[in-house]
C-alpha cells in the first residue's frame, strides 16, 4: 500500500473508521474512497458491486458495522445479525470480484466463548457458548471472519480479521444507552456532574472484568497490519494487555471528572452483568511488532475532552 493506492474505508464515519481516515489523510494518502450511508448503503448488494466496479479499490478497511452497548444488543438482535451479515457479505464478496489486494475486517471480542477464565486466544474460536446478551452480533462477526478465511482458502485472497478488545474513544456516539460500555460510563458521569445529580446507577454488580483499547490504537493496528507483508495468520487479536473490573473503570472516570466525588455509586444487581471476563491474548500481534501506543488514563481524558459540553 503506497500513497497513490486506491483505499476504500467502509465505515469512515464510525468509531474506528474516522481515526483510520484521519491518519491516512494526515499521512498524505491521495486516493481515499469513502461515501456516507445515504450515498452508499453497504447492505445493498447492487450498490456495493457498482461502487467497486466503478472505483476499483486496491485495499479495503471493512470497519463498518451495526453496533451498540448491552441494551442495544439485547433489544435489537434481528437488526444486528441481519445488517452486519449483509454489510460483511457484500463488501467481502465485492472485494474478491474486484481483485482487491488486501482487506482488513474488524471483528469483535464477543466471538469468544463466555466460560473461559483466561486470556482468549485466536484458537479458542467457537469452542463454547456465546454470551446471550450479544449472541446475535457475535454470530454475525463469526460469519464475517469465516467468510474471509473461506475466500482465502478457495480463492487465495488476502483477507485478514483483527479482533479488538472493547473499543472506546471520542468517535463513539456518546449515547448512554447505545454506546460501548466505557464511553457510556463517561457520558453518564459527565451528565451527572453537569446536572448535579446524587446517584450514579451502574448495571450489574461491577465485578465483571473488561479489557479496553483506545480507538486510535485500533486504527493504528489496522493500518499497521494492512502494510505488513508475509503474515502467517488470518485472525489476530488486538488488545491493550490490561483488564479491570467495571467498578474500577467507574472509579477511574469519576476521579477525573469529579475529584471530590459528590455523588453515590449504585449498582443495579437485577440488571445483567454480561460475560464475567474479556481479556485477549495478543501475543501473535506483538510477535509481528505491533503494540498499543496510548495509556488508559490519557485515553480516557482525551475521550472526556471530546464531549462537547465538558472540559477538565
Question: Residues 29, 96, 112, 137: which is the catalytic one?
Answer: 137
Query: Do 105 and 161 contact (CB within 8 A), yes or no?
Result: yes
Lowest mean per-residue pLDDT among 19-23, 199-203, 238-242, 265-269:
199-203
Integer CA distances (angstroms), 191 to 46, 175, 184, 205, in order:
43, 11, 11, 21
pLDDT of residue 151: 98
224 or 113: which leads in pLDDT:
224
Domains parsed from the chain with CATH numbers? 6-171+211-242+277-293 (3.40.50.720)
Written as nine digits, the cell of 223 is 493500518
152 or 241: which leads in pLDDT:
152
- The residue written with cell numbers 477464565 in the block is 117
pLDDT of residue 44: 97
Establish whether 137 is a catalytic residue.
yes
Name the most confidently modeled range: 43-47, 199-203, 260-264.
43-47
Contacts of 179 (CB under 8 A, 6+ apart): 68, 69, 172, 173, 187
Q: Please give the average per-residue pLDDT across 281-298, as a whole number.
A: 95
The pair phi, psi for residue 272, each rounded to 5°, is: -70, 145
Quick one: pLDDT band at residue 200, thresholds 50, 70, 90?
confident
Closest among 240, 166, 170, 228 to 18, alpha carbons compared: 170
Lowest mean per-residue pLDDT among 56-60, 186-190, 207-211:
186-190
CA atoms within 13 A on the CB side of 105: 31
Strands 243-245 and 166-168: unpaired
Instruction: Using a pLDDT cut of 70, give the percent of the chain over it.
Output: 96
Kindly state the helix (H) or strand (E) to which residue 306 belongs, with its residue range.
helix 296-306
Residue 72 has pLDDT above 80, yes or no: no
Residue 261 has pLDDT above 70, yes or no: no
Q: Please give the average per-residue pLDDT across 213-233, as a whole number.
A: 96
pLDDT of residue 178: 62
Amino acid at each position: 500500500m503506497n500513497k497513490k493506492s486506491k483505499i476504500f474505508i467502509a465505515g469512515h464515519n464510525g468509531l474506528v473508521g474516522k481515526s483510520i481516515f484521519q491518519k491516512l489523510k494526515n499521512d498524505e494518502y491521495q486516493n481515499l474512497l469513502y461515501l456516507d450511508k445515504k450515498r452508499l448503503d453497504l447492505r445493498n448488494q447492487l450498490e456495493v458491486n457498482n461502487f467497486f466496479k466503478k472505483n476499483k479499490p486496491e485495499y479495503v478497511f471493512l470497519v463498518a458495522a451495526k453496533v451498540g452497548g448491552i441494551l442495544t444488543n439485547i433489544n435489537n438482535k434481528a437488526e444486528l445479525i441481519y445488517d452486519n451479515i449483509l454489510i460483511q457479505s457484500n463488501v467481502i464478496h465485492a472485494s474478491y470480484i474486484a481483485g482487491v489486494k488486501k482487506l482488513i475486517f474488524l471483528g469483535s471480542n464477543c466471538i469468544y466463548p463466555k466460560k473461559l477464565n483466561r486470556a482468549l486466544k485466536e484458537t479458542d474460536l467457537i469452542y463454547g457458548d456465546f454470551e446471550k446478551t450479544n449472541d446475535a452480533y457475535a454470530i454475525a462477526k463469526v460469519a464475517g471472519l469465516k467468510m474471509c478465511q473461506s475466500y482465502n482458502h478457495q480463492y487465495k485472497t488476502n483477507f485478514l480479521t483483527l479482533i479488538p478488545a472493547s473499543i472506546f474513544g471520542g468517535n463513539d456516539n456518546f449515547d448512554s444507552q447505545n454506546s460501548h460500555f466505557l464511553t457510556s460510563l463517561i457520558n453518564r458521569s459527565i451528565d451527572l456532574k453537569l446536572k448535579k445529580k446524587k446517584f450514579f446507577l451502574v448495571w450489574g454488580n461491577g465485578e465483571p472484568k473488561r479489557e479496553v483499547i483506545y480507538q486510535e490504537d485500533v486504527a493504528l493496528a489496522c493500518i499497521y497490519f494492512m502494510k505488513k507483508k508475509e503474515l502467517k495468520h488470518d485472525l489476530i487479536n488486538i488488545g491493550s494487555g490490561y483488564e479491570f473490573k467495571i467498578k474500577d473503570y467507574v472509579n477511574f472516570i469519576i476521579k477525573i471528572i469529579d475529584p471530590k466525588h459528590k455523588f453515590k455509586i449504585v449498582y443495579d444487581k437485577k440488571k445483567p452483568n454480561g460475560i464475567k471476563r474479556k481479556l485477549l491474548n495478543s501475543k501473535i500481534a506483538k510477535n509481528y511488532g505491533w503494540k498499543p501506543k496510548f495509556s488508559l488514563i490519557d485515553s480516557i481524558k482525551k475521550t472526556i475532552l471530546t464531549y462537547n459540553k465538558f472540559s477538565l
